[in-house]
């Protein structure tokens, strides 16, 4: 399982509670309880599939007697019209879960699709990694990070406690790059690497002298990125970040940086177009 069930259920229950805290007046008033139906999630546009387990869990939490069929696995690119998942059982329950299931899976498939687009924009043979950032939808980070991986990209740190990342305001508060890195080394476990954000080549030299493990090059132009790669080769991993688009991605990767972090993978991914087609069970 890609996510611990208690974590997934907390998200699912919160989502269902938001939509069903007062019941479903429409389904309960118009659909007899004995009516059974089949709901099929269908792609209305090309997309990378993501969220089958979430789709299933939404309906299982509503009605454990519902049956589920996964028609296409997560991470697969499909065209318009592809049938993705199927749920069968009480028509009332299917209707009650429809919007919650689609809201989450449309979001996840949208992130996965955009991540795949960025990965495929890398130059042929590139070893540069595309990663996400912590610019995620509050409460949905675990789903969006999974979606990034389904798209073929990688995850950055999961939370503030997952890694040491010394950014510009940390450097100001600590009194400089050297003192910030020194303090981090005294506190960090031996399993943790230390990343430092720099804004220019002078700060890059300070971070290298302080023996930072990873250096984030914030909004560096291409010529500065290439020079940073030359200076840091064999000394630290380099991460390019800030304002990188699909149009500039290949040129940034061609400088030789190890990682390109892209906040847009999560904060600007459009929802994928997925619909639930309902048919009465025979």
Two structure tokens written together for 48: 């990378």
Contact in structure between 218 and 133 (CB atoms under 8 Å): no
| Residue count of the chain | 282
Q: Are 197 and 156 in contact (CB under 8 A)?
A: no
**Parallel/antiparallel/unpaired status of strands 164-166 and 194-198:** parallel
Q: What is the pLDDT of residue 190?
A: 87
Q: What is the pLDDT of residue 5?
A: 82
- Tokens linked to 230: 């030359």
Q: Are 119 and 58 in contact (CB under 8 A)?
A: no
Active centre residues (catalytic): 99, 135, 167, 197, 218
Asked whether 144 and 132 are in contact (CB, 8 A), the reply is: yes
Query: What is the C-alpha to C-alpha distance for residues 150 and 141, in angstroms, rounded to an integer?
Result: 14
Q: What is the pLDDT, as a whole number, of residue 255? A: 97
Q: Which two tokens stand for residue 234?
A: 């064999």
Instruction: Please give the pLDDT value at position 203.
Output: 97
One digit per residue, the tens of pLDDT, for the chain of length 282 reads: 467 888 999 999 999 999 999 998 999 999 999 999 999 999 999 999 999 999 999 999 999 999 999 999 999 999 999 999 999 999 999 999 999 999 999 999 999 999 999 999 999 999 999 999 999 999 999 999 999 999 999 999 989 988 999 999 999 999 999 999 999 999 988 888 999 999 999 999 999 999 999 999 999 999 999 999 999 999 999 999 998 999 999 999 999 999 999 999 999 999 999 999 999 986
Q: Please check whether residue 273 is in contact with residue 44, taking contact to mean a CB–CB distance below 8 angstroms.
A: yes
Residue-range domains of the chain with CATH: 5-119+269-280 (3.90.1170.20), 121-267 (3.20.20.70)
Alpha-carbon dihedral sign for residues 166, 197, 240, 258: negative
């Amino acid at each position: 399982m890609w996510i611990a069930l208690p974590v997934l259920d907390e998200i699912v229950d919160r989502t269902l509670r938001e939509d069903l805290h007062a019941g479903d007046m429409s389904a309960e008033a118009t659909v007899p309880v004995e009516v059974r139906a089949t709901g099929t999630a269908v792609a209305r546009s090309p997309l990378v599939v993501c969220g089958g387990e979430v789709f299933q869990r939404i309906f299982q939490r509503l009605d454990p007697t519902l049956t589920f069929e996964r028609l296409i696995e997560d991470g697969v690119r499909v065209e318009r019209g592809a049938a993705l998942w199927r749920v069968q059982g009480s028509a009332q329950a299917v209707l009650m879960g429809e919007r919650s299931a689609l809201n989450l899976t449309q979001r996840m498939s949208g992130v996965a699709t955009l991540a795949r687009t960025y990965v495929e924009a890398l130059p042929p043979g590139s070893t540069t990694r595309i990663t996400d950032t912590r610019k995620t939808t509050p409460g949905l980070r675990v789903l969006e990070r999974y979606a990034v991986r389904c798209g073929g990209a990688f995850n950055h740190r999961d939370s503030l406690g997952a890694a040491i990342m010394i950014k510009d305001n940390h450097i100001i508060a600590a009194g400089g790059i050297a003192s910030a890195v020194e303090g981090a080394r005294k506190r960090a476990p031996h399993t943790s690497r230390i990343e430092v954000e720099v804004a220019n080549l002078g700060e890059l030299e300070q971070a290298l002298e302080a023996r930072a493990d990873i250096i984030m090059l914030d909004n560096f132009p291409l010529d500065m990125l290439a020079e940073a790669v030359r200076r840091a080769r064999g000394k630290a991993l380099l991460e390019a970040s800030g304002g990188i688009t699909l149009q500039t991605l290949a040129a940034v990767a061609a400088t030789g940086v190890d990682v390109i972090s892209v906040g847009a993978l999560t904060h600007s991914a459009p929802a994928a177009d997925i619909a639930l087609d309902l048919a009465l069970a025979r």
